[in-house]
């Protein structure tokens, strides 16, 4: 039964169907920007904006888009929002924009964006599509923040740039370099599997 305002998708996006841990889509930008919490938050916020925005737009125009042309149309919508975020960030938050680098425009091929537009936004009303976008975006942001915390605290001794482990702390450098990212996510996935299995019993 389709309700007018349905929060189920919102909650699902955060936990049960968290895009990173459970559907494992959109990994590329995740590992690249999770070396620092600030960048992770920036990327997460940008992602949420694009996902919510494109979901809303797709939902608005869903009645007028013929089925056989929908994928290219969705791609154009997503690319538009990504470009909006790209240039807005360059204008108002240049340091963040520089840190995110090429991974920001790369969001356009993030499978989650196209996936949600296709699977949800094209079939539901505007409000629910917005909620879905926000929920999934929030889930993505939370996941990326968790990974960033695990990497930044030992790897730089800071939280959002604020030193919390003291001046004499020798950073555990591998955490902020590529191998560290892979190892962290590998262990997190294993942890998720373990929790999943325990719950099944």
Q: CB of residue 193 vs other proteins: minimum separation in angstroms? A: 4
Q: Rule CB under 8 A: say whether 161 interacts with other proteins.
A: no
Q: CB of residue 101 vs other proteins: minimum separation in angstroms? A: 9
Q: Give the rounded distance of the alpha carbon of 49 from its chain centre.
A: 10
Nearer to other proteins, 94 or 161 (CB): 94
Helix, strand or coil for residue 78?
A: helix
For the segment 26-65, give every residue that binds other proteins (CB under 8 A). Answer: 26-32, 61, 64-65
In sequence order, the β-bridge partners of residue 158 are 163
In sequence order, the β-bridge partners of residue 159 are 162
Nearer to other proteins, 10 or 47 (CB): 47
Chain position carrying tokens 């590529």: 178
Per CB under 8 A, the list member of 14, 25, 43, 121 interacting with other proteins is 25
Q: Rule CB under 8 A: say whether 14 interacts with other proteins.
A: no
Binding track over 85-114 against other proteins, x by CB under 8 A: -xxx-xxx-x---x---x--xx-xxxx--x
Cβ atoms of residues 19 and 13 within 8 Å: yes
For the segment 169-198, give every residue that binds other proteins (CB under 8 A). Answer: 171, 173-174, 176-183, 185-187, 189-191, 193-194, 197
- CA of 119: how far to CAs of 122, 125, 199, in Å? 7, 13, 28
Tell me the H-state helices in 93-158.
Answer: 94-100, 111-116, 126-156
Q: Rule CB under 8 A: say whether 72 interacts with other proteins.
A: yes
Joined together, the tokens standing for residue 114 give 């196209």
- Concatenated DSSP letters for 143-170? HHHHHHHHHHHHHHSEETTEE-S-TTPP
Q: Which residues bind other proteins (CB under 8 A)?
A: 24-32, 61, 64-66, 68-69, 72-73, 75-77, 79-80, 82-84, 86-88, 90-92, 94, 98, 102, 105-106, 108-111, 114, 171, 173-174, 176-183, 185-187, 189-191, 193-194, 197
């Amino acid at each position: 039964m389709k309700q007018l305002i349905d929060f189920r998708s919102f909650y699902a996006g955060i936990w049960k169907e968290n895009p990173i841990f459970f559907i494992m889509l959109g990994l590329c930008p995740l590992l690249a920007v999770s070396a620092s919490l600030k960048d992770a938050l920036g990327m997460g916020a940008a992602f949420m904006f694009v996902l919510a925005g494109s979901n809303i737009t797709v939902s608005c125009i869903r009645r007028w888009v013929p089925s056989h042309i929908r994928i290219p149309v969705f791609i154009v919508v997503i690319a538009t929002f990504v470009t909006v975020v790209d240039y807005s960030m360059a204008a108002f938050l240049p340091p963040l924009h520089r840190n995110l680098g090429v991974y920001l425009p790369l969001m356009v091929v993030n499978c989650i964006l196209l996936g949600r537009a296709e699977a949800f936004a094209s079939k539901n009303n505007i409000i629910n599509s917005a909620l879905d976008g926000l929920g999934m975006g929030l889930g993505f942001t939370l996941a990326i923040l968790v990974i960033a915390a695990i990497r930044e605290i030992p790897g730089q001794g800071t939280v959002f740039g604020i030193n919390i482990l003291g001046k004499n702390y020798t950073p555990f450098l591998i955490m902020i370099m590529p191998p560290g990212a892979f190892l962290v996510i590998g262990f997190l996935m294993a942890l998720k599997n373990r929790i999943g299995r325990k719950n099944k019993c």
